Amino acid sequence: MPLPLYLAWAHVRRRVLQSVLTVAGVAVGVGVLITALALTNGFIDELLESTLEATPHLQLRPWSDAATLPYDPEAAERLAAHPNVVAVAPFLATEGLIARRADASRGISGRQGYVQLLGVDLELQADVLALAELRSAADRVRDEGGLIVGGSLAASLGVLSGDEVLIQDVDGRRRTFDVADTFRVGNELIDGLVAFASIDDVRAHLRTDDAISGWHLRLDDPARAEAVGRELSDATGLRPTSWSSLYGGLVAQLDLQRAVIAVVVFLIVLVAAMGIANVLVLTVAEKTREIAVLRAMGASARQILATFTIEGLLLGAAGTLLGVALGVSAAAYLRVQPIPLPGDLYFITRLPMRISAFDVAWVSTLSLATAAVAAWIPARRAARTDPTRVLR
């Protein structure tokens, strides 16, 4: 066994309690960081997945929001022929006020709000969106002039399935709809604003024949929405809007939240690394005479530097390995046995977890690098020990 490794291992074994506490400190920091990142990853995935339930991966519409297109089945076939397009559906969008009428006999007060009304072909739109209500309430929407309303919007209006609401657009056109169902995906930009109706009912409301606002598309890979949008825009002359551009602020906010959590929890690892430096400083102070004897017997400054650096790395590596095991085990357990959450407060009913191999790798590397830096400072001091001055 090389001399630096032998001496480093001897120092670790001699200070058992300090070594154990130092390793435990690093392990707790690494384990908590991995678990926190797994929770953040799971939450981001859950939120984006639920958002995409009610958001098309890509939409194509005229460059002017007020413009419309004539419905052209051949155009839909050309869009569907793109290798990355899975499903295509026309839509007709309008905006306006939505209100619940007051009923004094039942003690019901009137309420109103803002709505983005989307007229869709229920069958085609159900292939574009993973919203179960588009299928379950399709008959009531299509045959009875029903409306599928976002859960938060329905709650703000105080309406339930079967209640009647009035929609008035900016041009003063009015139409009543019966609430066929409500949906909730967890994104207030959708739950609090959007309502779906039959495209024929919206056309009747807007007093138009076969106009559409554009096309909703589902892709085989949502991450390629920007690139596919540019290709289809060049081919059709329509303006592409990807899901990521619609909710870019949300994605940026989630990434910022993830970065803040990583920085805050990393401070725990940094404090634990200072524990390694503390142990080595005490060791160097106590072993000054022994270091001088080793130098006098021919040990080089590089060997002394390597001895204390290896000691710090041994403590850091042991803590990192234990922390990775604890973090991965905790995240895996919470994935199999998730913590339940109240569904009336959160859009999810369990705590989501997703372990990322990249996160485990960079956390481990960062922990080892921090341990190496913490060990190098006292190791450098030990290597500079002057044997003649100490032994005199």
pLDDT classification of 212: cutoffs 50, 70, 90: very high
Mean pLDDT of the region 110-124: 90
Q: What confidence score (pLDDT) does residue 230 get?
A: 93
Please provide the DSSP assignment of 191-210 as one string.
HTTEEEEEHHHHHHHHT-SS
% of the chain surpassing 90 pLDDT: 26
pLDDT band, very low/low/confident/very high, at 106 (cuts 50, 70, 90): low
Residue 384 pLDDT more than 80? no
Confidence of residue 163 (pLDDT cuts 50, 70, 90): confident
φ, ψ for residue 105 (rounded to 5)? -65, -30
Q: Is the pLDDT of residue 91 over 70?
A: yes
Q: Does position 392 have pLDDT exceeding 60, yes or no? A: no
- Name the pLDDT band for 97 (thresholds 50, 70, 90): very high
User: How far is Cα 387 from Cα 128, in angstroms, rounded to an integer?
Assistant: 77
Residue 144, classified by CB atoms within 10 Å of its CB into exposed (0-12), middle (13-18) or buried (19+), is: middle
On the question of pLDDT at 262 being above 80, the answer is no
User: Which of 141 and 44 is assigned the larger pLDDT?
Assistant: 141
Instruction: Select the more confidently predicted residue: 231 or 388.
Output: 231
Higher model confidence: residue 288 or residue 305?
Answer: 305
Angle made by CA atoms 174, 198, 83, in degrees to the nearest 5: 135
Place of tokens 């109706």: 197
Residue 382, pLDDT above cutoff 80: no
Task: Centre a 10 Å sphere on the Cβ of residue 32 and count the other Cβ atoms it contains.
Answer: 18
Is the pLDDT at 258 greater than 70? The verdict is: yes
* Tens digit of each residue's pLDDT (9 = 90 or more) over 306-342: 777 777 788 888 888 999 999 999 988 888 887 776 6
- What average pLDDT does the segment 170-176 reach? 88
**Residue 230 · residue 101 · CB < 8 Å:** no
What is the bridge-based pairing of β-strands 194-198 and 164-169?
Answer: unpaired
